[in-house]
C-alpha cells in the first residue's frame, strides 16, 4: 500500500509539472528551446547531426524530470532574445551570459559559472597573458559577449592611448577562423570553448593566458512574466541536484553552479 501511495504521489508530481510546463509553453506537451548549436562543448551538433553539449544534456534532463518532450531549435546567438520574446520558442538554453541589460528584457534562471581565456594562432608569435596585454591588439569575440563591456571600459582607461580593436563575429568558430587567417591577433572566449577548439583544430591555436578572468554567470532565459515555466525549470534543477545528476554534469564540463550572490552581482544588484 505504501508503495502504491508513493507511486501515486510521484505520478501526481509529474502531471503537475507537465501541466505547469503546458501553461508556460507554446505547445502543450513540448518545450521548444532556442540554442546556438555552433558553440562546443556547450551546444553543438554531434557526428550523428543531433544536438549535444552541456546545455543540451542539462535541458534534456530537466524536461525528463518534468515528463515533457524537448525540441532544440538552432538559432544564432544574437537572435536568441528576439526569438524568445517573439514566441518563436519557449526558452533560451545557449550559454547565455547574465548581463544587466538582458535582465531587463528576459527572466533568467542561473545555472552555470565559467570564465574566459585568450587564444592565439600557434606560431604567430603572439602571446597575451591577460586582458591588460590587449591594448592595441585586434581581438575577436562572439557577438554580444559579456566581456565586450570590459573592453569598452579599458579603452577609456588603460588602453585609451592605444585602444583594443574589438571585432564581433556571429559565431565563435567564425572568430576562430579569423584568428587562423590572421584577420585578428587574439580571440577572447569562454575557457571551455577555447579548450575544445584547441583539440578540434589539432593545436593550430593555443591558449596563451594562464588564468581565467572575467567570471561569467550563465542562465536560461524565458520571456518576462513566464513564471510558470521558470518555476518548473528551477524545481527540476533542484531535483537534479538532489539526485546527483546536476553535479555530475558540472564536473564533466569543468564548470560550477553560481551562488545567489554571483547572480545578483551579474545583474547589477
Boundary-marking domain end, from 197, 214, 231: 214
Instruction: Tell me which residue of 16, 267, 218, 40 sits closest to 112, measured CA to CA.
Output: 218
Same domain, 136 and 97: no
In this prediction, residue 25 carries a pLDDT of 85
Question: Counting Cβ atoms within 10 Å, is residue 23 exposed (0-12), middle (13-18) or buried (19+)?
Answer: middle
User: CA–CA distance from 109 to each of 69, 221, 246 (Å)?
Assistant: 20, 6, 15
| Same domain (yes/no): 17, 109 | yes
At 92-105, the pLDDT tens digits run: 999 999 999 999 99
Q: What is the pLDDT of residue 5?
A: 40
pLDDT value, residue 269 = 84
How far is it, in rounded angstroms, from Cα 232 to Cα 62? Answer: 9
The pLDDT of residue 7: 39
pLDDT tens digit sequence for 50-92:
999 999 999 999 999 988 899 999 999 999 999 999 999 999 9
Domain match, 22 and 108 both: yes
Q: What's the pLDDT at 103?
A: 96
Task: Say what the pLDDT of residue 144 is.
Answer: 86
Residue 170 sits in the same domain as residue 124? yes
The answer to whether residues 242 and 204 belong to one domain is: no
Structural domain of residue 185, as residue ranges? 115-214
Measured N-to-C along each axis, helices 172-181 and 191-200 cross at an angle, to the nearest 10 degrees, of 60
The mean pLDDT values, 10 residues at a time, for the chain of 269 residues are 42 46 74 96 96 97 92 95 96 95 96 95 97 97 91 97 97 97 97 93 95 91 95 94 96 90 91
Q: How many domains does the chain have?
A: 2
Q: How far apart (Å, rounded) are the C-alpha atoms in residues 125 and 120?
A: 9
Same domain assignment for residues 50 and 6:
yes
Residues 179 and 221 in one domain: no
Residue 17 shares a structural domain with residue 77: yes
**Calpha distance 234→156 (Å, rounded):** 39
Amino acid at each position: 500500500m505504501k508503495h502504491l501511495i508513493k507511486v501515486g504521489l510521484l505520478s501526481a508530481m509529474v502531471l503537475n509539472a507537465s501541466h505547469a510546463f503546458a501553461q508556460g509553453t507554446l505547445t502543450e506537451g513540448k518545450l521548444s528551446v532556442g540554442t546556438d548549436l555552433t558553440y562546443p562543448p556547450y551546444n553543438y551538433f554531434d557526428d550523428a547531426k543531433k544536438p549535444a553539449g552541456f546545455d543540451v544534456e542539462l535541458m534534456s534532463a530537466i524536461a525528463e524530470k518534468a515528463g515533457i518532450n524537448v525540441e532544440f531549435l538552432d538559432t544564432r546567438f544574437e537572435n536568441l532574445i528576439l526569438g524568445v520574446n517573439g514566441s518563436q520558442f519557449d526558452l533560451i538554453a545557449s550559454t547565455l551570459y547574465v548581463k544587466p541589460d538582458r535582465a531587463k528584457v528576459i527572466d533568467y534562471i542561473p545555472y552555470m559559472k565559467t570564465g574566459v581565456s585568450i587564444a592565439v594562432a600557434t606560431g604567430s608569435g603572439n602571446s597575451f597573458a591577460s586582458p591588460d596585454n590587449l591594448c592595441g591588439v585586434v581581438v575577436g569575440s562572439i557577438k554580444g559577449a559579456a566581456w565586450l563591456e570590459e573592453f569598452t571600459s579599458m579603452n577609456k582607461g588603460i588602453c585609451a592611448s592605444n585602444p583594443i580593436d574589438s571585432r564581433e563575429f556571429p559565431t565563435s568558430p567564425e572568430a576562430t577562423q579569423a584568428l587562423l587567417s590572421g584577420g585578428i591577433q587574439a580571440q577572447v572566449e569562454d575557457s571551455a570553448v577555447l579548450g575544445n577548439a584547441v583539440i578540434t583544430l589539432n593545436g593550430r591555436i593555443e591558449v596563451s593566458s594562464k588564468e581565467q578572468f572575467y567570471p561569467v554567470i550563465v542562465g536560461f532565459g524565458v520571456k518576462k512574466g513566464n513564471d510558470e515555466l521558470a518555476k518548473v525549470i528551477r524545481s527540476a534543477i533542484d531535483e537534479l541536484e538532489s539526485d546527483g545528476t546536476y553535479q555530475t554534469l558540472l564536473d564533466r564540463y569543468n564548470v560550477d553552479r553560481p551562488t545567489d550572490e554571483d547572480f545578483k552581482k551579474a545583474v547589477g544588484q
